[in-house]
Amino acid sequence: MTGKATGTPVERVEDERLLRGLGAYVDDLVTPETLHAYFVRSVHANARITAIDVEQAKRLNGVRAVWTGHDLGDLNGPLPLLAPHPDLIAPRTQLPLAVDRVRYVGEAIVMIVADNRYRAEDAAELVEIDYEPLPAVVEFSDSGRGRVHDDVADNVAAVVHQSRGDVEAALAAAPHQLTLDLEIERSGGMPMEGRGVHATWDRRTGRLHVSDSTQSHVAIRQGLSRILGLPLDRLEVVAPDVGGGFGTKIMLFYPEEVLVPLAAMRLEAAVAWTEDRYEHFISANQERGQVHQATVGYDADGKLLAVRTAFVHDTGAYIPYGIAVPAVTGTHLPGQYHVPDYEFTGRVIYTSKPPVSPYRGAGRPQGVFVIERLIGAVAKSLGLEPSEVRRRNFVPEDAFPYDTGLDLHDGSRAIYDSGRYAKGFQLAMGHADLPAFRARQKERRNEGRFTGIGSATYVEGTGVGPYEGCTAALNPNGRIVVEVSVPSQGQGHATTFAQVAADVLGCDPADVVVRSTSGGAGAVGHGTFGSRAAVMAGNAVAAAATTLRRQILDTAAEFFECAVEDLTIDHGLVRVAGTGAGLSLAELATGANPIRYPAGPAAPGPRAGSDAPPIALSATEYFRQRQWVFGSGAHVAEVEVDPATGKTTLLNYVVVHDCGRVLNPLVVDGQILGGLVQGIGGALLELFTFDDTGQPTTTSYLDFRLPTVDDLPPLVLDELQTPSPWNPLGIKGTGEAGIIPVAAAIAEAIEDALEPFGVSVHRMPMTSPRVRHLIATSTPLPKES
Amino acid sequence: MRITVEVNGRTRESDVEPRMLLCDYLRHELGLTGTHVGCEHGVCGACTVLVDGEAVRSCLTLAVQMSGRSVRTVEDLAPEGEELTEIQLAFRKHHALQCGFCTPGILMSLTAEQNRPAPSREDALDSVRGHICRCTGYRGIKRVVEEVFAESDAENPR
């Protein structure tokens, strides 16, 4: 690339519209004619349905349809399993509408369509469902208490297992070993805009148009076509403005994403469903819940020799996403550390809770929590600083590409492409200034204040393949239109991809229009997840723009009767070197098509008056790469804990991250910061809770505490840019990075702060009551004399 | 019920069910979809609008309560053809929005603060405390507050 737009903090082109209140989110598409869908959901976590009576509801004025699973016919089959895998022993996915069994509170049973939402909710009150409750599987220890699926013994959905080396032998030979029991609890993405679907059916053309608050409209379109039996040419799926995703909206399919389009077809009308926050709490997918028993073997210098973890992963009532999350935990757990012998075994368990699919970080925060808690314990046992143990175990700079010996769940090998782990950590620890902190800590302890420091590092496999496509075209008005398949949920694709294309083409980013909302007929791809959009689609944009540039130059060379090598494009002008001759992109594009429109520019085009065929100034290219590229980073947290209240306050926070080449620092910083504060929420505040019967007990923002402006700590944000050798732009994804090590760093800091109380932090999140409980149940260290 | 409300400077007369929420009235009856509904229980602040100049949660307010009052929504901050306001420009400059869903509510709360006789940075930050943003991590929003609102010390009154 030749240009200068990439790497600079270009302000986002998206913002003006959003700031004026002119965003168009799914629920904004509703008109007075739109019908509204509402779902009657299970009130039991595990129950047989013995009767459903919808007759009264049907008779209510304004109600257009009331459907149970029986009314859906063949369509009420199990929803797709996204990624089959040999490790899946007993894959089960849910029905669009539960028929005779429900497996979590919130599972949809009856669909109501009415003139407006108020009326639909009135009708829901009139639906009567008889249940025969069954024992719910809530905690991991409940596994023997009941069955989520009658035909699945012990509720085991899958077992993920991989190893490198000989862990048994290495642990036996290790001079020291220790084992920790660790627990990370359920949390979730909680986007500010809930889920929503809007569908219209045009009887005249037989076309279905769906707007979906999704991270992958292209995949939804392909899947809907199959499920509804509707040819792709009669089906459009658009992801309009999407109010946050964080993985929650990469689910394929939520039942509502099938049923709302179906209702539009059956009722020949526009039908919308917008969930309310309560529905989101009980029926949107969640993540994180895992318990680990992890063992590390190490030597007297703190060198890690072997790590083994046996964990249990809560996948909820169904497993639509396959083994993605537990597999990522296993493959990412060693992270930046060279652990010669390593083994993970994860039992994936069905529970009576909402299904699990990836939430920002997707299994990595759990893995990092485990390895970093082990390192903390190793350090403690040897009387070393944890940061020193980290330093002694990094994968060295000369080891890249570093083959982990582990396979990712898409079948590719996890090979770290590039990184400077020791350097990044050094940078972070430099900002944190450990010696100065230790001095401060001592002073504060003398004042009766408990402060602590903790660090953590991570790698993040990003740029999940196998491909993304892009179509780039030059319009007769000189504008470049770039079409990609990765919608934005706030990441700013319209800005960053414009920067990439502008640099290739030699024009201003403002002259590039990015379309990422509708999976059009041009290039196709997958969607926005797995920190892949910049890597995969960014490189596809560069490839398509490069081909378009060649077409532009070929056209200009014909017109100027010169060699392509003599041409330059700068600020949207194609010039012949050494002469005054030049054409704007608009003139060139107009001239490339010899038909003259009445109001077209009068400038001489390349083929004006010629009999030659028009030249297509449009290119579709794909970027293919199965190999993930690995971003990395180091965080340091400085906390103060109030033993009386259990409240943890972040005094300082350091982030150093490395996502390769940065396209737009404003956007990258925004991703890192957003992830960081989400991670702080996950470490200290956010927790989905359930009672013994599986009834969710966090169902509003009053009991699920999201971070507010006061939770942003004083912060140093720094970066390395170690380019990836595996894609032309040299970039690595960074959408999820910020969240990954936060819980681990904060756990170590809390443990450090509460050292005098003899506290070990083996659980996340560490809410204030839990910190108090931990202090109350720990044995204080003897006071130093 | 028949209501007469001034919305963004225009008098509107409507028949609404007594139970209709103000947010639904604005969004679905008047087509002012810039006001977003994030939680419907008054916590997230996305639906904040101005009622007679005060920031109000439109998801906890009934449309019928608005009869005879004046409501202002995000669409009125910089009507079409007009330059963005100081606060809106600062949001863009500091990347204080990502998905943009919570943004209108924060803009309205900060606008209410700015319109006070003596706006202060502390009060502005306090109003942001009533909003949840899941994307940005708040740094940009804090920078907006710092840029637009002066510290309320004696030397620097506003």
Domain B2-148: what homologous superfamily? Beta-grasp domain (3.10.20.30)
pLDDT digits (tens, 9 = 90+) for A616-664: 899 999 999 999 999 999 999 999 999 999 999 999 999 999 999 999 9
Query: Are the beta carbons of A627 and A455 closer than 8 angstroms?
Result: no
| Domain that residue A111 falls in | 31-134+195-242+249-283
Predicted local distance difference test score (pLDDT) of residue A579: 87
A781, pLDDT greater than 90:
no
A785, pLDDT greater than 70:
no
C-alpha distance from A666 to closest chain B C-alpha (Å) = 7
| DSSP type of residue A782 | P
pLDDT digits (tens, 9 = 90+) for A124-143: 999 999 999 999 999 888 77
| DSSP type of residue A287 | B
Strand A480-484 with A235-238, pairing: unpaired
Q: Is residue A181 part of a domain?
A: no
C-alpha distance from A262 to closest chain B C-alpha (Å) = 23
Q: pLDDT band at residue A669, thresholds of 50, 70 and 90?
A: very high
C-alpha angle A712-A678-A684 in degrees, rounded to nearest 5? 75
Q: pLDDT band at residue A551, thresholds of 50, 70 and 90?
A: very high
Q: Is residue A409 part of a domain?
A: yes
Do A342 and A409 lie in a common domain?
Answer: yes
Do A322 and A381 lie in a common domain?
Answer: yes
Non-local (6+) Cβ contacts of B114 within 8 A are: B86, B87, B124, B148, B149
A610, pLDDT greater than 90:
no
A295 membership: H or E segment, kind and range: strand A290-298
Do A367 and A450 lie in a common domain?
Answer: yes
A458, pLDDT greater than 90:
yes
Do A203 and A102 lie in a common domain?
Answer: yes
User: The CATH number of the domain where A88 resides is what?
Assistant: 3.90.1170.50
A715 neighbourhood in chain B, CB within 8 Å: 139
Average pLDDT for A229-233: 94
Mean pLDDT by 10 residues, chain B (158 residues): 97 96 97 97 97 98 97 96 97 98 98 96 97 98 96 56
C-alpha angle A608-A613-A619 in degrees, rounded to nearest 5? 105
Do A223 and A82 lie in a common domain?
Answer: yes
DSSP sequence for A464-522: --SEEEEEEEE-TTS-EEEEES---SSS-HHHHHHHHHHHHHTS-GGGEEEE-SB--SS
Regarding an ipTM greater than 0.85, the answer is: yes
The one-letter amino acid code at B10 reads R
Do A614 and A671 lie in a common domain?
Answer: no
Average pLDDT for A567-575: 93
Which of B75, B134, B142 lies at the smallest CB-CB distance from A192?
B134
Query: How many CB pairs (< 8 A) connect A and B?
Result: 170
A25 neighbourhood in chain B, CB within 8 Å: 33, 36, 101
Query: Are the beta carbons of A431 and A622 closer than 8 angstroms?
Result: no
Q: Is residue A668 part of a domain?
A: yes
Number of residues written out for chain A: 785
How many distinct structural domains can be found in chain A?
A: 3
Non-local (6+) Cβ contacts of A488 within 8 A are: A14, A242, A494, A516, A528, A533
Which of B17, B132, B138 lies at the smallest CB-CB distance from A701?
B132
Do A657 and A631 lie in a common domain?
Answer: yes
As a dihedral over the C-alpha atoms of residue A127, residue A133, residue A134, residue A136, rounded to 10 degrees, the angle is 80
Query: Are the beta carbons of B92 and A12 closer than 8 angstroms?
Result: yes
Quick one: B86 exposed, middle or buried, by C-beta within 10 A (0-12, 13-18, 19+)? middle
Strand A648-658 with A715-720, pairing: parallel
Task: Determine whether the interchain pair A21/B77 forms a contact, defined as Cβ–Cβ distance below 8 Å.
Answer: yes
A727, HSE (Cβ side, Cα atoms, 13 Å): 36
Task: Determine whether the interchain pair B103/A708 forms a contact, defined as Cβ–Cβ distance below 8 Å.
Answer: no
Residue (of A284, A293, A280, A247) closest to A140 by Cα position? A293
Average pLDDT for A70-88: 95
Average pLDDT for A67-76: 96
Last residue of a domain, one of A556, A590, A623: A623
Predicted local distance difference test score (pLDDT) of residue A605: 58
Average pLDDT, chain A: 94
Q: What is the distance of C-alpha A439 from the center of its chain?
A: 40
pLDDT digits (tens, 9 = 90+) for A344-361: 999 999 999 999 999 999
Q: Is residue A159 part of a domain?
A: no
Strand partners, A453: A638
- In order of A30, A515, A516, B28, the CA distances from A238 in angstroms are 15, 11, 9, 21
DSSP sequence for A670-732: HHHHHHHHHHHIIIII----B-TTS-BS--STTTS----GGGPPPEEEEEE----TTSTT-B-
Q: Is residue A10 part of a domain?
A: no
- Tokens 């009150």 correspond to A125
Average pLDDT for A301-317: 98
**Structural domain spans, chain B:** 2-148
User: What is the C-alpha end-to-end distance of chain B, expressed in Å?
Assistant: 43
Which of B40, B98, B137 lies at the smallest CB-CB distance from A676?
B137
Do A236 and A268 lie in a common domain?
Answer: yes
- In order of A365, A602, B48, B65, B106, the CA distances from B60 in angstroms are 37, 59, 10, 11, 17
Q: Does A32 touch chain B if contact means CB atoms closer than 8 Å? A: yes
Average pLDDT for A278-304: 98
Task: Determine whether the interchain pair B36/A192 forms a contact, defined as Cβ–Cβ distance below 8 Å.
Answer: yes
Predicted local distance difference test score (pLDDT) of residue A600: 53
Q: Does A267 touch chain B if contact means CB atoms closer than 8 Å? A: no
Q: Is residue A19 part of a domain?
A: no
| DSSP type of residue A11 | P
Selected for mutation to probe chain A from B135, B138, B145 (highest A CB count within 10 Å) is B135
Average pLDDT for A91-106: 98
Predicted local distance difference test score (pLDDT) of residue B80: 86
Predicted local distance difference test score (pLDDT) of residue A390: 98
0.90 exceeded by the pTM?
Answer: yes
User: The CATH number of the domain where A702 resides is what?
Assistant: 3.30.365.10
Do A345 and A430 lie in a common domain?
Answer: yes
Last residue of a domain, one of A608, A623, A638: A623
Predicted local distance difference test score (pLDDT) of residue A784: 56
User: What is the C-alpha end-to-end distance of chain A, expressed in Å?
Assistant: 65
Distance from C-alpha of A432 to C-alpha of A427, rounded to nearest angstrom? 9
Do A640 and A746 lie in a common domain?
Answer: yes
Beta strands in A501-647 (DSSP E): 512-515, 567-570, 573-576, 582-584, 618-624, 629-641
Do A659 and A573 lie in a common domain?
Answer: no
Query: Are the beta carbons of A147 and A48 closer than 8 angstroms?
Result: no
Average pLDDT for A713-736: 97
Q: Is residue A190 part of a domain?
A: no
Do A258 and A315 lie in a common domain?
Answer: no
Average pLDDT for A583-604: 70
